[in-house]
Amino acid sequence: MTGNRRDLTQLVSTVQPLEVFCDESGSDGENLIGGNTDVFAHAGVRVSLESVADSIQEIRNRIRSPAEEYKANHLLRGKHRSTLEWTLGPSGPIHGNAHVHLTDKAFFVVGRVVELLVAETGRPTGTLALTLYREGPRTVGGEQWQAFLESSNNLMRTKNRWDARTPVDSFFHLLDTLCPASAGSQVGEILELLRRSRPLADSFWAQSLENPTMIPSLDPLIPAIAQTVAYWSRNGRPVSIVHDEQNALTEERIAWLKDQFSGPQRRLAGVRFVDSRSDPRVQLADFLAGVARKIASDELNGRGDRELTALLRPYVDSSSIWGDDRSRHLLGPAPQDDQAV
């Protein structure tokens, strides 16, 4: 890896940037439906090197595993429940000094396809996406809803594309089936709006073929990092992101992120990469991201652990991309509808 990847601190600020140490869990790139996980979590921690070293050693002393590098799955084992509770709890090493952004991947896909195809109508895309996500499975049936999610995912993917017509044709062929079956319902109205937007889908496809390095519409890592910067710089202090090695964070995407925070406050001071094994602060972010993803996924799927969900709640970003009302209420405060996607 070149030096430019390891130290991309190009922006200058008169204020010493706040270093935030980050890692993620549940990354499947743009393959969000039918992948290995249904939730993506991105965590950032702000702790001193001295204190975090003591905390990692305390976790090792409690777990006593011979593993060279500890991961979140060590904490998630039932026999280490007390260590997990301590790590997240008020006496643990990250309480008040950490933040996690959650993404329900299915809702993210629904939000992105609605935003792409309906935004020009002036309709509230956030509200429409929530309605479609929440009512869609009951209205069209579970099997057809899964087909819609998969087809939407394929339509929006900007990498590993196959025949230039297949995803677009397949998506609108499916809508030709779903629209009559859902006619007269709110879901049917939204699906009809999507069906009328074929020219926008064709345009998006053509643009992505012409510019394969465009910022991916379906990689939740980019909006999660953007929200991490927004959260930690909310008092006006610029932020420098220190992230575990991540191939998805290309120089083009980092440049896009810096451009989003290039206003007068210059809130993103830079991005650099480290190996989590060499920096315990990133390892601690890895712990939080991994346990947050598992706890949130369990809650989303109706098998949540009340105590662990309550311990996670103080860390969860209120702008997390989350459409399920029941689990959102338990995991953290809900934002306004249009902020949910």
71-124, pLDDT tens digit by residue? 888 888 889 999 999 999 999 999 999 999 999 999 999 999 999 999 988 899
79 contacts 297 by C-beta, under 8 angstroms:
no
What are the backbone dihedrals phi and psi of residue 109, each rounded to the nearest 5 degrees, phi first?
A: -60, -45
39 contacts 297 by C-beta, under 8 angstroms:
yes
List CB contacts of 168: < 8 A, sequence separation 6 or more: 155, 198, 201, 202, 205
pTM of the model: 0.89
DSSP 17: P
Q: pLDDT > 70: what percent of the chain? A: 87
Element spanning 99, H or E:
strand 98-104
109 contacts 147 by C-beta, under 8 angstroms:
no
- Compute the mean pLDDT over every residue in the chain, rounded to the nearest whole number: 87
The pLDDT value recorded for residue 11 is 40
DSSP 78: G
Spans of the chain below 50 pLDDT: 1-13, 334, 336-341
CA quadruple 84, 231, 31, 215: dihedral sign? negative
List CB contacts of 103: < 8 A, sequence separation 6 or more: 39, 40, 41, 42, 220, 223, 224, 320, 321, 322
Amino acid in position 222: I
What span, in angstroms and rounded, lies between the C-alpha atoms of 44 and 274? Answer: 14
Can you state the angle between helices 280-300 and 81-88, rounded to 10 degrees? 110
pLDDT digits (tens, 9 = 90+) for 164-191: 568 899 999 999 999 999 999 999 999 9
